């Protein structure tokens, strides 16, 4: 395990080079969401440290972040990153360097994802090499390379640990393993709100699968233990969900159908690679779409298919060797009929998903099918019926548990189907409603999630287990030759995921304004104007100009994590109406300066910080002159940064 972890770390550093050399001063990827997440870490970490220092009221302000003043519960406008904050809190407390802390978290998502998958697959197969290959498949899945800016999406590392813990419980009966799986599931729930809704149902399905596969449906002790574990997970997770419900009830937090659809995967997205990939980025461009690059990698798919084929072959061999009575002729006929219907539906479903329709001639008449949603449901129903009818009563109970290929294959297909969103589209053409639409209509919370395509991370998770099963089967046929084959496949896997380059501190465009500074100050090295704001003996309500531009609002939000004064600016997954209104007012300042001034006063702002260098050269003094003419008084100047007191 130590060698596997070290190898994952070495590969991670190589793939993200030169991040390891500048991780104390340059943030991974761009200065968009990573900068916002840095503020979250500073705010939540600061509240926890204040609590530990004796300010026992600090946790009551945990959700009331100091942005979007005077709006409450502003932390609940986006992810809260509590698990990540606790993970890196010692480093943050010791160094006060949030850039270093963020980068450590970023790198750890790859290493821990590999380690968790290694442990899970090693437990299933007993082959460390196969487990290591499975860890590579998950830790460096091509989908991850398109998510560098989204730490919450990359933070899927606790998924394999949760499955591993629950599997060990069913293997050994030890409650310690059940506790470990539950803790991992809680960590996953507190790492990403998407995965609370996306992953938890698969965990419940896996527990049920284990009970069925091991013929323990009447094992009431197991039911009680798993039920109690589920209750504990819910009780710990629920306090981190209720603030989001409060924000939703206030009118903030519901996504439109059009927005959700635009961030769903297209069927052709599975043949589309991220443009960041060195090998396939310019070749596999079937249907580029934001966050919809679902190419899983040829090596991954090949090994996964080997894993499925090996599972089917093993099942057939066991059926032949079984001493159980031969099924009756009617049952054999029913099994055959269901298999034929299932094969036809699989062909029809594949045709509709790839081309948009399926044509078949019945007694000279052509029948066309276009509804992929109905076909998917009927295919799933036929598959379940076929499995139940052909179930061999003499099969040992532990066999399915030893090689759970069927569960992971079905889970991968289900995750891929949900990633298509509420409307299944083929090359941009909507062909039918998707399974995700049912979740939006009947399961609370799904209409608040903007990106169904993030189910692709779960697809990568389940495919990686199948990769491990496939690698194990190849090694089992011929140890020396099989090992060489799977190692070659692993090299191909890494080549398919290798990025063209890894960027750091990429600044966001700011329209007609100048871009933000190249480097972020941390700890004692924050800019002097923010040091003065931090050290002020009187509480402030600060507004920074430019206002309403993502790049500069993020700049303001980042330093709000250090000075901890109340800030009118903000950036998050949602924006309150007060922020949008004020942005409109500042856009109209040139034609209605008095109205803009009254809107500024209405925010209860006490200080305004103007970044004159952000504006075009001819306009750099206009904002400052307007503030002075309106009655503001300049109290500090540092280069082109000017701080004014309003009242």
Question: Domain spans of the chain?
Answer: 2-30+79-306+398-497, 325-389, 523-645
pLDDT of residue 420: 95
pLDDT tens for residues 376-434?
Answer: 777 777 777 777 776 655 555 555 556 799 999 999 999 999 999 999 998 888 888 88
pLDDT of residue 136: 98
How far is residue 50 CA from its own chain's centroid? 29
Q: How confident is the model at residue 362 (pLDDT cuts 50, 70, 90)?
A: low
pLDDT tens for residues 332-348?
Answer: 777 777 777 777 777 77
pLDDT tens for residues 548-585?
Answer: 999 999 999 999 999 999 999 999 999 999 999 999 99
pLDDT of residue 322: 58
Q: How confident is the model at residue 594 (pLDDT cuts 50, 70, 90)?
A: very high
pLDDT tens for residues 500-555?
Answer: 999 999 999 999 999 999 999 999 999 999 999 999 999 999 999 999 999 999 99
Q: What is the helix (H) or strand (E) element at residue 634, kind and residue range? A: strand 633-638
End-to-end CA distance of the chain: 61
Question: Mean pLDDT, the chain, as a whole number?
Answer: 91
Task: Note whether 516 and 522 are within 8 A (CB).
Answer: no
Q: Facing residues of 552 across strands?
A: none
Residue reference for tokens 């309500």: 541
Query: How many Cα atoms occupy the beta-carbon half-sphere of 403 within 13 Å?
Result: 21
DSSP 104-128: HHHHHHHHHHHHHHHHHHHHHH--H
How far is residue 458 CA from its own chain's centroid? 9
pLDDT tens for residues 276-292?
Answer: 999 999 999 988 988 89
Q: How confident is the model at residue 249 (pLDDT cuts 50, 70, 90)?
A: confident
pLDDT tens for residues 455-501?
Answer: 999 999 999 999 999 999 999 988 899 999 999 999 999 999 999 99
**pLDDT-wise least confident of 17-26, 169-178, 358-367, 540-549:** 358-367
- Average pLDDT, integer, range 196-225: 95
Q: Facing residues of 361 across strands?
A: 366
pLDDT of residue 252: 76
Q: Facing residues of 359 across strands?
A: 368
Whether the predicted pLDDT of 606 surpasses 70: yes
pLDDT tens for residues 98-148?
Answer: 999 999 999 999 999 999 999 999 999 999 999 999 999 999 999 999 999
pLDDT of residue 390: 66
Helix (H, G, I), strand (E, B) or coil at 369: strand
pLDDT of residue 402: 61
Burial class (CB in 10 A: 0-12, 13-18, 19+), 323: exposed
pLDDT of residue 324: 57
pLDDT of residue 401: 57
pLDDT of residue 379: 76
> Beta-carbon neighbour count of residue 427 at 10 Å?
14
- E-strand stretches of 391-445: 423-426, 429-433
pLDDT of residue 343: 78
pLDDT of residue 370: 59
pLDDT of residue 394: 53
pLDDT of residue 580: 94
Report d(CA 112, CA 118) in Å as an integer. 10
Whether the predicted pLDDT of 69 surpasses 90: yes
């Amino acid at each position: 395990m130590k060698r596997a972890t070290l190898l994952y770390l070495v590969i991670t550093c190589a793939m993200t080079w030169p991040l390891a050399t500048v991780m104390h001063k340059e943030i991974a990827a761009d200065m968009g969401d990573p900068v916002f997440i840095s503020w979250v870490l500073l705010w939540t970490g600061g509240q926890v440290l204040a609590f530990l220092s004796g300010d026992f009221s600090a946790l009551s302000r945990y959700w009331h972040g100091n942005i979007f003043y005077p709006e409450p519960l502003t932390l609940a406008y986006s992810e809260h990153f509590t698990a990540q904050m606790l993970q890196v809190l010692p480093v943050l407390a010791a160094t006060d360097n949030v850039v270093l802390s963020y980068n450590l978290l970023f790198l750890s998502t790859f290493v821990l994802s590999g380690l968790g998958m290694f442990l899970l697959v090693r437990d299933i197969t007993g082959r460390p090499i196969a487990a290591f290959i499975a860890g590579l498949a998950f830790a460096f899945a091509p989908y991850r390379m398109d998510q560098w800016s989204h730490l919450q999406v990359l933070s899927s590392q606790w998924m394999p640990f949760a499955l591993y813990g629950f599997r060990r419980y069913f293997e050994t009966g030890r409650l310690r393993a059940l506790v470990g799986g539950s803790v991992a599931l809680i960590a996953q729930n507190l790492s990403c709100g998407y995965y609370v809704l996306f992953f938890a149902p698969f965990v419940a399905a896996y527990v049920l699968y284990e009970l069925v596969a091991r013929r323990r449906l009447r094992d009431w002790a197991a039911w009680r233990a798993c039920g109690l574990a589920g209750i504990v997970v819910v009780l710990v997770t629920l306090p981190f969900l209720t603030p989001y419900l409060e924000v939703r009830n206030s009118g903030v937090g519901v996504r439109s159908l059009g927005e959700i659809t635009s961030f769903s995967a297209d069927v052709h997205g599975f043949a589309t690679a991220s443009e960041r990939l060195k090998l396939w980025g310019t070749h596999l461009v079937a249907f580029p779409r934001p966050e919809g690059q679902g190419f899983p990698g040829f090596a991954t798919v090949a090994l996964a298919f080997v894993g499925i084929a090996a599972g089917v072959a093993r099942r057939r061999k066991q059926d032949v060797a079984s001493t159980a009575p031969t099924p009756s002729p009617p049952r054999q006929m029913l099994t055959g009929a269901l298999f034929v219907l299932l094969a036809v539906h699989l062909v029809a479903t594949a045709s509709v998903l790839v081309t948009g329709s399926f044509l078949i001639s019945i007694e000279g008449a052509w029948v066309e099918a276009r509804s992929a949603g109905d076909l998917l449901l009927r295919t799933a129903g036929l598959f379940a019926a076929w499995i139940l009818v052909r179930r061999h009563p003499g099969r040992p109970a532990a066999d399915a548990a030893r090689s759970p290929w069927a569960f992971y294959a079905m889970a991968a297909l289900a995750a891929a189907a949900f990633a298509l969103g509420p409307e299944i589209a083929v090359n941009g053409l909507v062909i039918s409603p998707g399974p995700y639409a049912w979740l939006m209509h009947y399961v609370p919370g799904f209409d608040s999630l903007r990106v169904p395509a993030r189910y692709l991370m779960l697809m990568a998770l389940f495919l990686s287990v199948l990769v491990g099963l496939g690698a194990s089967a190849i090694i089992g046929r011929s140890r020396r030759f099989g090992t060489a084959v799977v190692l070659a496949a692993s090299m191909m896997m890494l080549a398919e995921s290798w990025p063209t380059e890894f960027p750091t501190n990429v600044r966001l465009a700011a329209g007609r304004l100048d871009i933000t500074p190249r480097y972020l100050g941390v700890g004692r090295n924050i800019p002097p104007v923010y040091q003065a704001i931090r050290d002020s003996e009187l509480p402030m309500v600060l507004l920074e100009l430019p206002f309403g531009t993502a790049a500069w609002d993020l700049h303001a939000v980042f330093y709000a994590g250090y000075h901890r004064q109340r800030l009118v600016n903000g950036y998050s997954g949602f924006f309150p109406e007060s922020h949008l209104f004020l942005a409109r007012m500042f856009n109209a300042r040139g034609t209605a300066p008095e109205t803009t001034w009254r809107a500024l006063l209405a925010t209860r702002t006490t200080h305004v910080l103007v970044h004159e260098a952000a504006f075009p050269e001819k306009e750099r003094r206009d904002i400052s002159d307007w503030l002075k003419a309106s009655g503001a008084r300049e109290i500090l100047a540092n280069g082109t940064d000017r701080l004014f007191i309003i009242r």
